[in-house]
A = this chain, B = another copy of it.
Amino acid sequence: MKTPASAWVVPPVQPLLIRDLLTRVRHWAGGQRIIYRDLREHSYAEFLARVDRLGRVLTDLGVKPGDRVGVLDCDSHRYLELFFAVPMLGAVLHTVNVRLTPEQIAYTIRHAADSVMLVHTDFLPLAAQLAPQLPDVQAWVALTDGALPADPGIALAGEYEALLAGVSSEFCFPDLDENTVATLFYTTGTTGEPKGVYFTHRQLVLHTLALGLNFSVHHDPLSLQCDDVYLPLTPMFHVHAWGFPYLATLLGLTQVYAGRFEPALLLRLIARHKVTISHGVPTVLQLLLNHPESAGVDLSNLKLVVGGAPLPAGLARQARARGIRLLSSYGMSETCPVVASAHPKPDRADTDAEADLEVCSRTGFPLPLVEAGIWSANGTLLPPGRDQIGELVLRAPWLTGGYHLDPVRSAELWRGGWLHTGDIAYRDLDGYVRITDRLKDVIKIGGEWISSLELENALSRHEAVKEVAVVGVPNAKWDERPHADVVLHPAHAGQVTPRELQKFLHGFIESGAIHQRAVLTEIRLVEAIPRTSVGKIDKKALRAALVAAAST
């Protein structure tokens, strides 16, 4: 009996949808609560009913699949409801970054073409100011913790709680394609207008699963578990609060949302609800530890994922001394965001506290399904090794497809089939990614990256040097050559020559602290270094002036 060659019945592939992150918790979470500041708490059953009501309210406001719905709020139970209801309608949740300038905020809302805006009363004055510039917005909804202001300054379609109360909790969300865009938000670079990054249902579901597996399967230094109590220390408008609210909801954790940033309230919420898991940038950790009320709060049950910036060793030690279990992780707006975390390997030999802290503070080891490459200045992939430095590039099933309505910068982001992070890194011999610089801070010399920050650090250690800026200047032979503008301390003016500084720099090169090719550095003594309007060193202007000078 010879059967024919393969004739698989390939099933209708079941899509990965944000809706399905709620399936399990309908029956799982009984006693777990969702809490907002010291103002409100409710059960998961109520949360689910509110998501259904919100689906009806948004539909009644005219939200259709593909529409953008903007939110101006800090971390809240309502934001969590919007995390689900908006994408589940097939619409796109635009999490507006309230920390941008009013101009930038208006730009992002116009660029996203948001048709409905939900605005916390704290931001109503801003909304009223911007509304005339936002022709696409059809309806404004107020989110309020108390009474609405007598004059909200803007024509409101309603207040969130009143709208929810006015509809039935029976609502059926539509079936969707898993590649439907679910979320959108804007990231600001050093130059140009804010760029919109966006994620699909499939991407967010996969990020949630990989995030959960990654943070629960290593008990050292911290393991996310199903009885944790969660409070984000990052804004929900910033890369979905790193994706943790989706995970916390999937797992049915008790969740605490703290509203606008108030360290004293945060500390009280952590203490009252026995918060065990959180995540945030080093600055927020520092604010919590140094707050006057901090000493009275037991933080010894807290597990904290740190990201957004390198974790300083001193801060890490201070946090550990309070009993906090800390772990570095890495990601960016374009990556959903988490792509790496600094879990120590289970078989490492060295396990004293300092060695452990060093590992846990690294950029991180790639998550499951994440492929990390080191992209050399020549566009080849480099092997592990401290001297194999290049741009960190990534592949993973949850990286943004590009920048919204910006095919040029999208193509640049994804050149060569990898997402280019703009971070300069190497992969250490244990396989951890180690970021050394931002791409804008490195100089390409003869096909190799040299850090301009390292050169600046070295030169600034000369007692005569008050200020220094190093940039790369195009060079036919070497791709680029480093150029240093140096301002001397007045006391040393006229007493130190560029040649002397060059010799000083060569000392670092000879000792191996700095790359050999740094010998090519040209040094110029100047009165002042160009600065931007906000007072930062303006390397772009410096480079442009040098290029112009060279071509005349």
Q: Is A331 an interface residue (CB 8 A)?
A: no
Interface presence of A376 (CB below 8 A): no
Cβ of A258 within 8 Å of any chain B Cβ, yes or no, is no
Q: A3-B405, A136-B2, A396-B14 are in contact. Are A366 and B24 (CB under 8 A)?
A: yes
In the assembled complex, how far is the CB of residue A347 from the closest CB belonging to chain B, in whole angstroms?
A: 4
**Residue on B with the closest CB to A212?**
B213
Is A544 close to B, CB under 8 A?
Answer: no
CB-nearest residue of chain B to A371: B23
- CB of A370 closer than 8 Å to a CB of B: yes
Please, how many angstroms separate the alpha-carbon atoms of A181 and B9 in the complex? 10
Min CB distance, A210 to chain B, in Å?
Answer: 6
Residues of chain A at interface, number, CB under 8 A: 84
List the B side residues contacting A16 at CB < 8 Å: 206, 369, 397
Produce 1/0 per residue, A29-63, CB < 8 A to B.
Answer: 01110000000000000000000000000000000
User: Is A3 in contact with B111, judged by CB distance below 8 angstroms?
Assistant: yes
Most buried by B among A28, A31, A110: A28
Q: In the complex, how many angstroms separate the beta carbon of A213 from the nearest chain B beta carbon?
A: 4
Q: Which of B6, B14, B92, B219 contacts A92 (CB 8 A)?
A: B6
- Determine the distance from Cα of A28 to Cα of B367 in the docked complex, in whole angstroms: 11
The CA of A435 and the CA of B102, in the complex, are separated in Å by 59
Interface centre among A14, A68, A181, A345 (most CB of B within 10 A): A14
**A5 — nearest CB in chain B belongs to which residue?**
B113
**Which 9 residue pairs of A and B lie closest in terms of their CB atoms, listed nearest first?**
A27-B431, A11-B401, A227-B346, A31-B347, A216-B217, A209-B209, A216-B216, A212-B213, A9-B402
> In the complex, given contacts A209-B209, A217-B224, what are 17 additional A-B residue pairs having Cβ atoms less than 8 angstroms apart?
A2-B110, A2-B136, A4-B405, A5-B66, A6-B66, A9-B402, A9-B410, A10-B181, A23-B370, A24-B367, A24-B368, A27-B431, A30-B430, A217-B226, A217-B251, A226-B343, A227-B346
